[in-house]
Amino acid sequence: MFAADSHSLELCYNGLSLPFKMADIISTVEFNYSGELLATGDKGGRVVIFQREQESKNRLLSRGEYNVYSTFQSHEPEFDYLKSLEIEEKINKIRWLPQQNAAHFLLSANDKTIKLWKISERDKRAEGYNLKDEDGRLRDQFRITTLRVPVLMPMDLMVEASPRRIFANAHTYHINSISVNSDYETYLSADDLRINLWHLEITDRSFNIVDIKPANMEELTEVITAAECHPHQCNVFVYSSSKGTIRLCDMRAAALCDRHSKFFEEPEDPSSRSFFSEIISSISDVKFSHSGRYMMTRDYLSVKVWDLNMENRPVETYQVHEYLRSKLCSLYENDCIFDKFECCWNGSDSAIMTGSYNNFFRMFDRNTRRDITLEASRENSKPRAMLKPRKVCTGGKRKKDEISVDSLDFNKKILHTAWHPKENVIAVAATNNLYIFQDKIN
Amino acid sequence: MFSKGTKRKFSDGDEEISAESLVGARVASSYSLQRQSLLDMSLIKLQLCHMLVEPNLCRSVLIANTVRQIQEEMTHDGSWHMVTEAFCNPGQSPSERLVATEVLCRSREQDAEPKLFSVISYEGCREEEVVADETLCSVSVSDTVSDVCLAGRMGQCWEKSELSGVERDEEALEDSSLGSGEDEEIDTEDEASTKSPKTTGQVFGTFEIKNGSPGPDSALEELFSDVDTSYYDLDTMLTGMQSAPKMGPYDLLDSLAPSHSSPTIVSTPKCRSDLNELDHIMEIIVGS
């Protein structure tokens, strides 16, 4: 993943002088399949897409910056009249579709509605119409003396985003995940209690494939927290729960996949049991590896890698911020314990990344077992300067450059990160700011 | 209590053991204080999430599970047993305490709604007046209240989303407005609790619905809808007290919880009259 002979994981800025400051809190970040485009969704329902510049010979130290490519309003706030509640326009998830023609397609979802957007470029326009002049006004019929063929003239590049499908009214509860199937025809959407399967062409119908809503809502003790389709097997998907379990389902088995094919759960360590055990075991994100052999889950304090062939325990566990274990009561009080952190794989599945507090994010190299903590902040980041590894002091004497647990800013949380599918370029969302880093170029 | 200077007749070993047991007792009471404070915090969170425009279901479920966990532990501890024995219907076995929530709430059916107004008005009473004997009054009442309120509150939390489930279902769209009486109760009542003062007609409309015969499972919601409707007492509305912090069973709990009160020992007669008033509250809640 990183330079093989380096003793420490290193990253340096990619040449963008400053991180992008967005108008609103970023709520999702996602690279497309080629990594050329990076989409972000925010709390205000906007989607901003960045495009990578072509590599230029002038910039030796940079492999190509990301610049704003398109901005559009995906979702608007809605009002549910029956409940007298507002439906937030915040974008919960964006997922790209694989590119099949010149246009790009992505799915964006808020709490209730999923939209398919087409992003296309227009760099030519037709000139020389017969019936209307350049302004668009109808030409005087007497003036038309000859017949001409309009010609396509180049124009300034215009990027248009248009909603092609709107998938609505299928979710009673808040949508937490969407995932495109490997057949590129269907996708699933999951809310707290149900998972639906959609066809990309059909908006007025969806199949309910998982329903964990109890007959009596007072018996509700578990909700769905995330769901994802298998990257290669279009009949397989997983969903995680608030009790720290993951269920793998096979859509060939039955129309309603309430009975799982595999059930992943790590037995609880009785010595560390507390009243918060269940809350911190709640899984906030689940991601398949690119290979499809493993999956990764993020709970409050750790990231776990599971082998799909072994259900009784994960094969790897990485502690993200174990120093918070003694602070769980305060974190429960200020609600931070309910923060939903995401996690992601790198393109080769050799490393994983996830966020933490104080604008820290963590990367773990699965092969060397090395890990690093980095900070996404304007003060500490200069263009083309290496990011300094950070360390949290857990007790005793605090060394220079270390930060103590009590000084951590719990309002600065990195919940969303994304890794380029092929290169060591990462996108980190810190509240309103989007940071894009790349690893050091030899 | 032991003090360092106290000399005892017996050997030093005995004193050490006593010291240990003292430490143990301190740890145990500190643990139960922490547990109580966690329970209070959780109940407040559940109440707040009920007040929020759109409660986060995952968070609510996790908090509710935590409360259940604490309840179960307190039941096994015996601290729950003492609570419910003091105030609940005799004849209910301790093991049924958790299940008893429903029973307690159901038995409310016979009671008329306006009685709960006195519970709310009781809130004005400062905790020092009410909490006299820590071990009996405050702990027990608060726990019982929480016991009573818990299932209903959770039901309420889910019911909000549940209601939207009824609406969203396209087939049932026509029926959703008619719905079951309880859903409608919750809807109007929740609406009222989160919006500015409603018109008089709506307030009384709410009351009308309340008087309808509730189904077997509606008792829980009914308990809370009754509590909430006290906000829409005409006086409250007109005097603009709507803006006052929203009151619910957990506010009562708050004022009674031992963690909030300073351990002042009040004279016995006052304690007794306070006990009577607590009895009164419990009667209302339990509906005996």
Do A192 and B35 count as a contact with CB atoms less than 8 A apart? no
Residue B114 DSSP symbol: G
Q: Is B44 or B219 the better-scoring residue by pLDDT?
A: B44
Q: Is A376 or B77 the better-scoring residue by pLDDT?
A: A376
Give the model's pLDDT for residue B173: 39
How confident is the model over B254-268, as a mean pLDDT? 42
CB atoms within 10 A of CB A85: 19
Give the model's pLDDT for residue B120: 27
Share of chain A above pLDDT 70, in %: 92
For A102-106, A201-205, A385-389, which range has the lowest pLDDT when averaged over its residues?
A: A385-389
Which residue does chain B place closest to A173, by CA atoms?
B161
- How far apart CA A361 and CA A351 sit, in angstroms, is 13
**Residue A408 confidence class, pLDDT cut points 50, 70, 90:** very high
Which residue does chain B place closest to A328, by CA atoms?
B38
Exposure class string for B261-283: b at 16+ Cβ within 10 A, else e: beeeeeeeeebeebbeebeebbe
How confident is the model over B32-49, as a mean pLDDT? 88
* B61 to chain A, closest Cα gap in Å: 6
Say how many CB pairs under 8 Å bridge A and B: 94
pLDDT at B216 over 70: no
* B124 to chain A, closest Cα gap in Å: 26
Is A59 in contact with A43 (CB distance < 8 Å)?
A: no
Interface of B with A in 214-273 (CB under 8 A): 217, 220
Residues of A in contact with B38 (CB under 8 A): 275, 329, 332
- Residues paired with A224 in a beta bridge: A241
Residues of B in contact with A84 (CB under 8 A): 191, 194-195
Closest to B257 (Cα-Cα) out of B167, B157, B123: B123
Q: Is A438 or A166 the better-scoring residue by pLDDT?
A: A166
In the numeric block, the tokens 């429903």 are attached to: B102
- How far apart CA A230 and CA B35 sit, in angstroms, is 42
* B142 to chain A, closest Cα gap in Å: 20
Do A83 and B38 count as a contact with CB atoms less than 8 A apart? no
**Token pair recorded at residue A406:** 């009590």
How confident is the model over B44-63, as a mean pLDDT? 82
* A85 to chain B, closest Cα gap in Å: 6
Q: Is A111 or B171 the better-scoring residue by pLDDT?
A: A111
Q: Is A225 or A259 the better-scoring residue by pLDDT?
A: A225
Judged by a CB distance cut-off of 8 A, whether residue B56 touches chain A is yes
CB atoms within 10 A of CB A349: 18
pLDDT at B246 over 70: no
Convert the pLDDT of each residue in A291-326 to its tens digit.
Answer: 999 999 999 999 999 999 999 999 999 999 999 999
Exposure class string for B115-139: b at 16+ Cβ within 10 A, else e: ebbebbebeeeebebbbbeeebbbb
pLDDT at A269 over 70: yes
* A281 to chain B, closest Cα gap in Å: 10
Do B161 and A173 count as a contact with CB atoms less than 8 A apart? yes
Task: Please spell the DSSP secondary structure of B7-22, one letter per residue.
Answer: --SS-HHHHHHHHHHH
**Token pair recorded at residue B39:** 């329970």
Output the CA torsion B61→B67→B69→B73 (10° steps). -170
Interface of A with B (CB under 8 A): 80, 82-86, 88, 111, 169, 171-174, 192-193, 213, 216-218, 220-223, 225, 242, 275-276, 278-279, 282, 329, 332-333, 335, 338
Burial class (CB in 10 A: 0-12, 13-18, 19+), A211: middle
Give the model's pLDDT for residue B133: 37
CA-only gyration radius of chain A, Å = 24
Residues of B in contact with A172 (CB under 8 A): 161, 164-165, 168-169
Residues of A in contact with B65 (CB under 8 A): 221, 278
Closest to B148 (Cα-Cα) out of B270, B256, B51, B33: B256
